[in-house]
Amino acid sequence: MIRSTILSLAAFILAGACSLLSSVSLAEASLPSATTNREPLQYVYAVDQSSVQLAPQSEKRAEQAVLLASQEYWFHASGRSLQKGVAISTSSPGALIRVSPLGGRALEPMTFDVIRSDGKVLSASEAFSLSATAEELQGVGLARANTVRLSQAAGTGVVSLRSQAVSNLQAQYRVHVKEKSSSPTLSMSVNQRAFSPGERLTANIEMFMPSKDKSNKRDSSKGVAQSSLPLDEVQGVLVSPLGNLKTVNVIRQSRAHYVVDLPMTVPNDVVPGKLWDLEIKAVSGEIRRNLRFSFAHFPTTAATNDHHLMLTEEGGLQARFSVAVSEPGRYEVRALLAGVNNDGQSMPIAIGHTAAWMEAPGGELALMFDHSLLKQSGLSPPYQLRGVELIDQSRLSKQSARQSY
Amino acid sequence: MTLSVILHFFSTFLRCLKTFVSALTSVLAAIQVVTSQKFALQKVVLQKATVIHWLWKGLLVSICISSPFVNANTGVAFVHGTGDSSDALNDYWTRDMVFSVTGGLPDTSKFVVVNCNFDEYAWSNEAGGCLARQISSFIERESISDLVVITHSYGGTVMRWILSNPTWDRRHPVIINATRSVTAIAPSSLGTPLADAVIDGNRFERVLGWILGYRSPAVELQQEDWMAHYNNTLFYGTAGRPALPVTFKSIVGTDVESSPFDSDSYCGGYAYQVALEVTQEWLDNCSDGFIECRSQAGAGTVWFYDVDRTRRREPLSHHQSRRPCFNLDVFLRNDL
């Protein structure tokens, strides 16, 4: 009788999860999997009660906006243009420049010279205050590139960097420039870091200049006043995990403010674990900046809409989660078990993980919390599961996280 | 059976003796320092020191008798950083470093130096799978019940993958259950801007970059945006996320020194220091030349910042932190 009741309850929950799943348009094609492990596994460990701050139970997990800043830019140059000299625009002294070959050998720093904006030619020893060869950088883990720092003598503004050692004029190089101190900063805020199909990516783009005028906007991270710079050109491109590029429409709000508003559809390019990139290039007068934002965009493959927590005959607790899936794969549920202390406060007891391979339309995942664990915590009922997360281990993507810890 | 009991007892006795001798040496060294500084107080200090010495001895014997680790079989695993390693003992850590640290083991043969392909994602079979296989084999082969894992750089991230994902692989719980602590030297817990700098998003490098050495999956994962995403989803131990199931304590390298006139700049190799001075330019003011301090301190707890403990308060560059420089090996040895 009890068993049949539990079975009907499970069927009911599964049906609910299935309907929830169908409402979020699941991926239809068979997707690649990062794991082939089909063994069901559970793991539970006690947590230090002071290590997790539990939020009020009703609090929904809020996606946090992401703030990005760049004082860098990069571009590609051919061997021919490097031989003639490529324009490097700097707004403060001491810019770092990294020249990497896209194939072939790296150019040695000592083969470069710099032509200043007033036409004076500086040798490498005059133009660079610091340099490292590709061989030296290889030793510490940076492959195939040199790095130099422009000296005070090189000045600021537009200078020309050229090398007489280019042997292949058709070769391609990436030139990467970074300015660290008090230079204009391209800033982008994005609404969140991970997107499901149906959600929108919205980004605000501005360029700021450190300002002495205290009435101007403040950079909260540094506490310095800054003023917006008008932008002459802003371009955006979306890069898929497979390297497919798509131009993004960047909308002008004002001379100094642009936005990106991207509807996120069901992705075609799915590589387990790999993220997408939104790349922004902005120009303000002679100032150039690039910025890259990596984000998760995986198909919806599973859903869980409820769980049940039952006392076992041994005095432990068993949690059961109904999971509806559209794609074969390994799925995991993680949750924090909380109890109540003498003051009536909800406190953490343990974190549990349970995973198994599932085929469509899904099934149930169970998680056992032993009696000894409950006793050891010194906490009392009512017990609750907090921060339940559903993970698609095959795609390495979090499918849902309904509540804060 | 009887023989094994006798051997176990003998091993425990030797360990207690070793601990006692080590502590006695420290006490005598302390007395020497005090007496050399304050000769006039030598007699008083020595009398006090004698009392401390016998109290200390008594305490040690008590600890030895009652310690839960007396019956533990302690082992240590060395986990290298980014790269496809086939001989990490010689190429990545050096024998001087490894044997200095393992000198602190009750049985100095109980160690493993992991060799895996850490050019791959932490979750890949070549990286996390290989690490799980090598450590779990070591645990099983040597019956290790008290494992200390020492990681460097990206090795800390791969280890954190195992600790955060116990249901990924049946070997993960075996490792978690046997591990006393992970000492993560200069871990790339929040990524590094240098990984961002070597990655470009164009199609050419997306497809071919791995051949050119720019865009290995490990470098890709260590970009700051990537680590921010995965720290918030599949990894534990960073701010706002659940704690890891075992202690994960980091040693943070704060600077790079490369003066040709300073002999300390030659520890580990002067050329590395020069290169790291340059890479440091891409980073915050506080970095070891490869990873910023905030990233190294971004998961678990900070055991110590280099200059707070090292000899002459010398900073440990990203290269020196895998070498026996400025007593680093001694701290690791004494922690076993």
Residue A67: inside a domain: no
For residue A322, give how far its alpha carbon lies from the nearest alpha carbon of chain B (Å). Answer: 18
Q: Shortest Cα distance from B37 to chain A (angstroms)?
A: 43
The Cα of B26 is separated from the nearest Cα of chain A by a number of Å equal to: 34
* A245–B contact, CB cutoff 8 A: yes
Q: How confident is the model at residue A16 (pLDDT cuts 50, 70, 90)?
A: very low
Based on the fold, state whether residues B30 and B91 are members of the same structural domain: no
Within-domain flag for A7: yes
Number of structural domains chain B divides into: 2
Do A37 and B205 make contact, defined as CB atoms within 8 angstroms? no
Structural domain includes residue A80: yes
pLDDT, tens digit, 9 for 90 and up, residues A155-182 = 889 999 999 888 888 888 889 999 987 6
Q: Is the pLDDT of residue B204 over 80?
A: no
pLDDT at B208: 42
Q: Is the pLDDT of residue B67 over 60?
A: no
Is the Cβ pair B223, A102 closer than 8 Å? no
A150, part of any domain: yes
Give yes or no for A271 touching B (CB within 8 A).
no
Residues A191 and A285 occupy one common structural domain: yes
Mean confidence (pLDDT) of chain A:
85
Nearest to A383, CA basis, from A341, A354, A343: A341
Task: Choose among A141, A294, A396: nearest Cβ to B234.
Answer: A396
* Same domain assignment for residues A192 and A293: yes
Secondary structure of residue B142 in the 3-state scheme: helix
Range of the domain at B50: 2-66
pLDDT given for residue A56 in this prediction: 61
Determine, yes or no, domain membership for A228: yes
Per-residue exposure over A334-364, b if at least 16 CB sit within 10 Å of its own CB, e if not: bbbbbbeeeeeebbbbbbbbbbbbbebebbb
Q: Are residues B111 and B56 both part of a single domain?
A: no
Gap from A61 CA to chain B (nearest CA, Å): 12
In a domain, A284, yes or no: yes
Nearest Cβ partner for A41 among B170, B203, B214: B170
Peptide bond into B166 cis (omega under 30): no
Distance of CA B151 to the CA centre of its chain: 4
Please give the pLDDT value at position A57: 57
> What integer pLDDT is reported at residue B32 of this predicted model?
40
Query: Predicted confidence band at A59 (pLDDT cuts at 50, 70, 90)?
Result: low
Confidence band, pLDDT 50/70/90 cuts, at residue A223: low
Candidates A47, A129, A142, partner chain B, best to mutate (most B CBs within 10 A)? A142
Per-residue confidence (pLDDT) for residue A217, from 0 to 100? 57
Residues A116 and A199 in one domain: no
Q: Are A217 and A243 in the same domain?
A: yes
Same domain for B185 and B50, yes or no, is no
User: Which residue, among A42, A47, A94, A9, has the nearest Cα to A353 in the 3D structure?
Assistant: A42
Looking at per-residue pLDDT, the higher value among A53 and A223 belongs to: A53
Gap from B60 CA to chain A (nearest CA, Å): 28
> Rounded to the nearest 5 degrees, what angle is found at the Cα of B271, between the Cα atoms of B270 and B272?
90
> Any CB–CB contact under 8 A between A75 and chain B?
no
Chain A positions touching B245 (Cβ under 8 A) are 45, 351
Do B105 and B35 belong to one domain? no
Cα–Cα distance for residue pair B289/B321, rounded to 1 Å: 11
- The answer to whether B274 contacts A136, with C-beta atoms less than 8 Å apart, is yes
CB contact under 8 A, A45 and B245: yes
- Three-class SS of residue B325? coil
CA–CA min distance A398, chain B (Å): 6
Mean pLDDT of A137-151: 73
Cβ <8 Å between A47 and B242: yes
A353 or B218, which is more confident: A353
> Same domain, yes or no, for B224 and B118?
yes
Q: Is A296 on the interface with B (CB under 8 A)?
A: yes
Q: Are A196 and A300 in contact (CB under 8 A)?
A: yes
Q: Residue B34: its pLDDT value, please?
A: 37
pLDDT given for residue A49 in this prediction: 79
CATH number at residue A231: 2.60.40.1930
* Residue range A19-36, pLDDT digits in tens: 444 444 444 457 889 999
Residue A3 pLDDT > 70, yes or no? no
Distance (Å, rounded) from C-alpha A141 to C-alpha B34?
45
Task: Select from B66, B87, B113 the last residue of a domain.
Answer: B66
pLDDT band at A213 (very low <50, low <70, confident <90, very high): low
The nearest CA of chain B is from the CA of A103 a distance in Å of 6
* pLDDT for the residue B17: 54
Q: Number of A to B CB contacts under 8 A, please give it.
A: 156
Burial of B96 (0-12, 13-18, 19+ CB in 10 A): exposed
Residue B223 and residue B152 in one domain = yes
- Is residue A21 a part of any domain in this protein? yes
A279 touches chain B (CB under 8 A): yes
Of the residues A121, A149, A178, which one is the last residue of a structural domain? A178
The proportion of chain A whose per-residue pLDDT surpasses 90, expressed as a percent, equals: 57
**What's the domain range around A229?**
185-297
How high does pLDDT run on average in chain B?
A: 81
Alpha-carbon distance B315 to nearest alpha carbon in chain A (angstroms): 17
Query: Of the candidates A136, A242, A391, which has its C-beta nearest B234's C-beta?
Result: A391
Residues on chain A touching B281 (C-beta within 8 angstroms)? 96, 130, 147, 149, 178, 180
Are both B181 and B293 inside the same structural domain?
Answer: yes
- Cα A78 to the chain's mean position, in Å? 31
**Which residues of chain A lie closer than 8 angstroms to B194, CB-CB?**
142
8-state DSSP, B238? B
Tokens of B116: 């895996």
Q: Spell out which residues of chain B touch residue A396, defining contact as CB-CB under 8 Å.
A: 123, 234
In a domain, A31, yes or no: yes
Q: Which range, A63-72, A126-135, A229-238, has the best average confidence (pLDDT)?
A: A229-238
Residue A17 predicted with pLDDT over 80: no
Residues B108, B127: one domain? yes
For residues B120 and B83, membership in a common domain is answered with yes
Q: Is B18 helix (H, G, I), strand (E, B) or coil?
A: helix
Note whether B229 contacts A355, CB cutoff 8 Å: no
Say if the Cβ atoms of A243 and B289 lie within 8 Å: no
pLDDT tens across A112-143, in order?
Answer: 999 998 899 999 999 898 888 777 776 656 66
B198 and A43 within 8 Å at the Cβ level: the answer is no
* Single residue among A297, A316, A338 that ends a domain in this structure: A297
pLDDT at A401: 65
Task: Give the largest CA-CA distance in chain A.
Answer: 93
Residue of B nearest to A367 (CA): B167
